[in-house]
Structure 1
Amino acid sequence: MYFYIKALHIIFIVTWFSGMFYIVRLFIYNTEAQEKEDVEKRILTNQFSIMIKRLWLGIAWPSAILTIIFGGWVAYLYGSVPTWLWIKLSLVAGLYAYHFTLHKIYKDESKGIFAYTSQQLRFWNEGATIFLFSIVMLVSVKQSMSLVWGLAGLTAFILILLSAIRIYKGLRR
């Protein structure tokens, strides 16, 4: 039974991350649509609003809830809480905090409030990538990875992501 529950946990992690990755892209497109002429702006905003609502409420939120349910069940069946799992749970708590910030952006954009530029949202989009990288590395490597090398690798990964965003911005111009 443990492996079936674990498989369901992983499936909902994947769908949750898919939702978080794509929702920010839609926020970016919706934000950029606000710069268009009136007719085009209205058409794009209406379409993006539908897509955003369906993705966020139909995929991302249910997946986030099912991830935590099956994750708790897996932890219960696992029986003990080793050190690496406490670190993972801390990262997961950060991931849920990130999810709630996306929900705030969702609520704001649904009210017509666009508090962030598309460039700021591009940076924000990498939050899920950083959590994914950190959690998968931790779960895969566990005790074989030292905390110092893990943090050094994560820092290098973040710097590469930030550099890639800046390079992409330059190429778009």
Structure 2
Amino acid sequence: MYLYIKALHIIFVVTWFSGMFYMPRLFIYNTEAKEKPEAIRKVLHDQFSIMMKRLWYGITWPSAILTLVFGFIVMFKGSWNKVLLEPEGRWLLVKLCFVAGLYIYHFTLHKIFKQEVEGNFKYTSQQLRIWNEVATVFLISIVLLAVVKQSLSFVWGLIGLIVFIVLLMSAIRVYKLIRMKNK
């Protein structure tokens, strides 16, 4: 039974991340639609609002909740809670800190979602593009910790994460320059 619960946990992690990857893209499209003529802007905003609501309430929120529920069951059924503060369980403690950060990120997406549906655009499409990549950083960190566990050197892992973030931000900047050049 443990492996089925673990499989369900992984399945809902995947669907949750799918929602968190796609939602900021919808924010970007919705934000960029405000630059269109009024008639087009209204149609696009209405359509993006429907898409965002269905994605957020139909997939992303339920997946976030089920990820948490099945994650706790996996942790307790696998007795990981007993070694959480031991050397062999420190990877899990660090992973849970990243998971807590991921839920904070999820709540920030919820806040942006509510603003966008109301037509309140507080962020530029460039800011939203950068914010979209935060989920990628969490995904890589959490998966590496879950797979590599205690053989992962914290220092090397942190250096690798910083290098990855720098590369990611550079790619976003290059993409922006290419977009601006093509306009």
For Structure 1 versus Structure 2, the TM-score category normalised by the shorter chain is: over 0.9
Q: 1:116 aligns with which of 110, 117, 123?
A: 123
* One-letter amino acid of the structure 1 residue matched with residue 123 of structure 2: Y
Distance 1:28 1:112 in 2: 13
* One-letter amino acid of the structure 1 residue matched with residue 34 of structure 2: Q
Distance 1:143 1:100 in 2: 30
Distance 1:88 1:3 in 2: 20
- Stretches of structure 1 lacking an aligned partner (at least 5 in a row): none
Equivalent in the alignment of 1:69 = 69
Number of residue equivalences: 173
Q: Structure 1 segments of 4 or more deviating over 3 A?
A: none
Matches within 5 A, 1:135-146: 135-146=142-153
- With the length of structure 1 as denominator, give the TM-score of the two structures: 0.99
Equivalent in the alignment of 2:112 = 105
* One-letter amino acid of the structure 1 residue matched with residue 159 of structure 2: A
Identity %: 65
Output one character per residue of 1:130-160: Cα deviation in whole Å (capped at 9) or x when no partner: 0001001111111111110000000000000
- With the length of structure 2 as denominator, give the TM-score of the two structures: 0.93
Distance 1:16 1:6 in 2: 15
Equivalent in the alignment of 2:31 = 31
Equivalent in the alignment of 1:43 = 43
Distance 1:125 1:34 in 2: 19
Equivalent in the alignment of 1:147 = 154
* One-letter amino acid of the structure 2 residue matched with residue 70 of structure 1: F
Equivalent in the alignment of 2:165 = 158
1:7 aligns with 2:14: no
Q: 1:131 aligns with which of 138, 143, 158?
A: 138
- Stretches of structure 2 lacking an aligned partner (at least 5 in a row): none
* One-letter amino acid of the structure 2 residue matched with residue 62 of structure 1: P
Equivalent in the alignment of 1:53 = 53
